[in-house]
Chain A
Amino acid sequence: MIELSTNISNYEQLISTDLTAYDAIYLGDVTCPLYPNNFCSDTKDLENAITFLKNLNKKCYLRLYAVPENKDMQWMRKLIQRAIELKVDAFEAHNLGVLLILKEFKNIIPIHFGVFGNIYTIETIKVLQDYGVTRVQPSPELSIEESIFIKDETPISTVFAVHGKIPLVASETCFIMEQNGNDESNCGFACSKDHWLTRQQGEWSMKDTGRMTLSGKDLCMVEHIEELLSKGVKNFYIQSHGESNEFIETTGKIYKDVINKSLNNEKISYETNVETLSSLAHEGLCNGYYFGSTGQQYHGRKLND
Chain B
Amino acid sequence: MTEILAPAGSLEMAIAALDAGADAVYAGPKGWSRRPMESEVTEEEIEQMILYANKLNKKVKIVVNTYPAPFEMPLFIKKVTKFYEMGASGFIATDVGVVKLLRERFPDTQIHISIGAGVSNALDVKFFENIGADVIVLPFRWNIEEFNEIQKISNITLEAFLYNTIKTGKICPGNCIMSSFFQYRDWFAEEEKTNEHGSANRGSKECYRICQVPWEINNDADKSKSILKQDTNLIQEQLVDFVKCGVKVFKISGRERPIEMICKVIKFYKKVIRELEEGIITSLENYKEELEDLRAQWNNQKHKRVAVLMNKAKSYNKMQKEEVR
Q: Which residues of A does B touch, CB under 8 Å?
A: 66-70, 72-73, 95-101, 116, 118, 120-128, 139-143, 146, 149-150, 153, 166, 168-173, 175, 178-179, 194-200, 202-204, 206, 208, 213, 215, 289, 292-296
Contacts and interface: CB of A to CB of B under 8 A. Distances in A.
A172 B142 CA distance: 12
A124 B228 contact: no
A141 B171 CA distance: 20
Contacts of A168: 176-178, 181
B305 interface: no
Top 3 A-B pairs, shortest CB-CB distance: A123-B97, A97-B123, A124-B97
Which of A101, A150, A213 has the largest count of B CB atoms less than 10 A from its CB? A213
A67 B97 contact: no
Contact of A295 (B101, B180, B213, B216): B180
Contacts of B181: 166, 168, 206, 215, 294-296
Interface of B: 67-71, 73, 94-98, 100-101, 118-128, 131, 141, 146, 149, 167-172, 174-178, 180-184, 197-199, 201-202, 210, 213-219, 224, 226, 228, 314, 317, 320
B90 to A, nearest CB: 19
Contacts, number: 188
A142 B127 CA distance: 25
A149 B72 CA distance: 11
B127 A116 contact: no
- Which of B118, B169, B184, B224: most chain A Cβ within 10 A? B118
A264 to B, nearest CB: 32
Contact of B183 (A120, A123, A294): A294
Nearest to B170: A171
A178 B227 CA distance: 12
B279 to A, nearest CB: 31
A296 B320 CA distance: 12
Q: Interface on chain A toward B: helix, strand, loop, or mixed SS?
A: mixed
Contacts of A122: 70, 73, 97
A98 B123 CA distance: 8
Contact of A120 (B68, B168, B213): B68
Given A141-B199, A146-B69, A96 B124 contact: yes
A294 B172 contact: no
A294 B67 contact: no
Given A95-B120, A171-B171, A175-B169, 15 more contacts: A73-B121, A97-B122, A120-B95, A122-B70, A123-B96, A170-B172, A171-B170, A172-B172, A175-B228, A196-B219, A197-B228, A202-B219, A215-B181, A293-B197, A295-B181
B241 to A, nearest CB: 17
A76 B258 CA distance: 46
Contact of B184 (A68, A121, A294): A294
